[in-house]
């Protein structure tokens, strides 16, 4: 019988699928519903200490593409398929003392499911580093099984917060170290994809003592401009700011970042996020080396916490392991990372043999051919 359970950063999971830090995990009732639906874990919506006021109007919308013309738009229309989510939502607008009793109650109701508290503070001075420790201590004392440090929120104007930490290897290291000094539970860091070389920031987090890297948060992006109104499809008073893209559109980009990090640190723990709605996508993350997988956009579109998504993920995992029973695979560890080494330098990819290879140029036909022949004979 295949075994769905796994141990990741020392934490036991009934199954390796988590709801990521986002609207599906913004409240006690959502998290309880998520556990009833079968999710192995949740990462809470990010908890901070500074006041949070979101923009007027919609904080997140979905983009769809139509099969006939590949038009990507937030406008709902028949036959269009999901392309991505777009959001400019800040972290939780609920205070730490709102969260603490709720974390405690959730863990009492579901002691065997995993609750990771996502936290965020600044990094500009010692007081901000102490704020990280205050958040960490409060959440772990309430029963959180682990901490996820948000180094990746793309909407922060402050230079010392969110993805601005994730773009600075020094800050990644210093903040991780500060939290590790106070933490009694495993510490994961969630990195931004908006950086030149994510392997550099991952290394810095590991230097600071991180137990796992989580990737990806959303990618910097804008909604499109409506060709009729000439306004951004989501705006306030005609204005927009760079927001975050999630969902199917980011799957290949997130896989690429994950492949690079898993190769650079084959012995370390990684949690994959980005464009997962079914087992096929989760499998890519496992095969690259991830030990758990997280989901946001697909769950938001499925009764807010993804009861059908988790059903599909679990059924897919069971079927996959049944199919490979003859290979002796009985748990995720048996196939985790078996495609880690398949991404190589372009020059290491086989070329057509001998004369067939034209150095990247096609054989020129037509009027140019004689010149080519003359040059070759000269």
- Distance of alpha carbon 211 from alpha carbon 368, whole angstroms: 60
Q: Are 251 and 93 in contact (CB under 8 A)?
A: no
The least distance separating ligand FMN from the CB of residue 193, rounded to whole angstroms, comes to 9
Q: Is residue 113 within the footprint of ligand FMN (CB under 6 A)? A: no
Q: Segment contacting ligand FMN (CB under 6 A): 10-18, 192-200, 290-298, 332-340? A: 290-298
Q: Are 342 and 258 in contact (CB under 8 A)?
A: no
Active-site residue, selected from the candidate residues 139, 153, 205, 262? 153
158 versus 351: smaller Cβ distance to ligand FMN: 158
**Would you tell me how many other CB atoms lie within 10 Å of the CB of residue 32?**
18
Q: Are 271 and 294 in contact (CB under 8 A)?
A: yes
Q: Is residue 246 within the footprint of ligand FMN (CB under 6 A)? A: yes
- Going residue by residue from 26 to 45, which x/- string records binding to ligand FMN, judged by CB under 6 A? -------------------x
DSSP 92: -
Q: Which residues pair with 19 in a beta bridge?
A: 42, 295
Q: Is residue 118 within the footprint of ligand FMN (CB under 6 A)? A: yes
208 versus 243: smaller Cβ distance to ligand FMN: 243
- Give the list of residues 6+ apart from residue 281 with CB closer than 8 angstroms, or none: 251, 275
**3-class SS of residue 161:** coil
- Distance of alpha carbon 288 from alpha carbon 256, whole angstroms: 10
Q: Segment contacting ligand FMN (CB under 6 A): 136-144, 264-272, 293-301, 318-326? A: 293-301
Q: Is residue 23 within the footprint of ligand FMN (CB under 6 A)? A: yes
Among 41, 122, 146, 275, binds ligand FMN (CB under 6 A): 275
Residues 78-97 that bind ligand FMN (CB under 6 A): 85, 87, 89, 91
- Distance of alpha carbon 219 from alpha carbon 25, whole angstroms: 20
Number of residues that bind ligand FMN (CB under 6 A): 31
Q: Are 254 and 272 in contact (CB under 8 A)?
A: yes
The least distance separating ligand FMN from the CB of residue 327, rounded to whole angstroms, comes to 29
Q: Is residue 150 within the footprint of ligand FMN (CB under 6 A)? A: yes
Catalytic, 205? Answer: no
The least distance separating ligand FMN from the CB of residue 82, rounded to whole angstroms, comes to 10
Whole-number Cα distances in Å, 127 to 140, 231, 248, 323, 357: 20, 42, 39, 54, 61
- Going residue by residue from 206 to 225, which x/- string records binding to ligand FMN, judged by CB under 6 A? ----------xxx-------
Q: Is residue 103 within the footprint of ligand FMN (CB under 6 A)? A: no
User: Cα-Cα-Cα-Cα dihedral of 270, 273, 275, 280, to 10°?
Assistant: 40
Q: Is residue 47 within the footprint of ligand FMN (CB under 6 A)? A: no
- Distance of alpha carbon 246 from alpha carbon 228, whole angstroms: 26
Catalytic center residues? 153
Please give the residue ranges that form the binding site for ligand FMN (CB under 6 A): 20-23, 45-46, 59-60, 85, 87, 89, 91, 118, 150, 152-153, 190, 216-218, 246-247, 250, 273-276, 295-298
């Amino acid at each position: 019988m295949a075994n769905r359970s796994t141990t990741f950063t020392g934490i036991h999971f009934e199954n390796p699928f988590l709801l990521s830090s986002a609207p599906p995990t913004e409240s006690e009732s959502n998290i309880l519903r998520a556990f009833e639906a079968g999710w192995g874990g949740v990462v809470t919506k990010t908890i901070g200490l500074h006041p949070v006021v979101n923009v007027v109007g919609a904080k997140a919308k979905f983009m769809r593409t139509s099969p006939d013309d590949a038009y990507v738009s937030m406008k709902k229309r028949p036959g269009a398929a999901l392309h991505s989510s777009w959001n400019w939502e800040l972290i939780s607008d609920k205070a730490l003392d709102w969260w603490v009793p709720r974390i405690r109650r959730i863990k009492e109701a579901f002691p065997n499911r995993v609750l990771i508290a996502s936290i965020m503070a600044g990094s500009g001075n010692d007081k901000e580093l102490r704020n990280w420790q205050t958040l960490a201590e409060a959440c772990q004392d309430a029963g959180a099984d682990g901490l996820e440090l948000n180094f990746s929120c793309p909407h922060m104007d402050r230079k010392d917060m969110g993805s601005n930490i994730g773009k600075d290897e020094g800050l990644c290291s210093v903040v991780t170290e500060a939290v590790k000094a106070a933490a009694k539970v495993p510490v994961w860091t969630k990195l931004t994809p908006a950086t030149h070389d994510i392997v550099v920031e991952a290394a810095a987090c590991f230097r600071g003592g991180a137990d796992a890297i989580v990737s990806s948060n959303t990618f910097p992006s804008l909604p499109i401009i409506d060709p009729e109104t000439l306004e951004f499809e989501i705006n306030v008073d005609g204005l927009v700011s760079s927001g975050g893209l999630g969902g199917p559109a980011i799957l290949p980009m997130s896989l690429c970042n994950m492949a690079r990090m898993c190769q650079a640190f084959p012995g370390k723990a990684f949690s994959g996020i980005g464009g997962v709605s079914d087992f096929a996508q989760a499998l890519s993350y496992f095969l690259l080396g991830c030990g758990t997988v997280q989901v946001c956009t697909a769950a938001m579109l499925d009764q807010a916490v993804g009861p059908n998504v988790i059903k599909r993920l679990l059924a897919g995992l069971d079927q996959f392991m049944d199919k490979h029973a003859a290979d002796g695979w009985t748990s995720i560890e048996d196939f985790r990372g078996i495609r880690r080494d398949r991404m190589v330098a372009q020059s290491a990819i086989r070329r057509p043999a001998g004369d067939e290879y034209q150095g990247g140029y096609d054989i020129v036909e037509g009027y140019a051919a004689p010149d080519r022949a003359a040059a070759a004979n000269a």
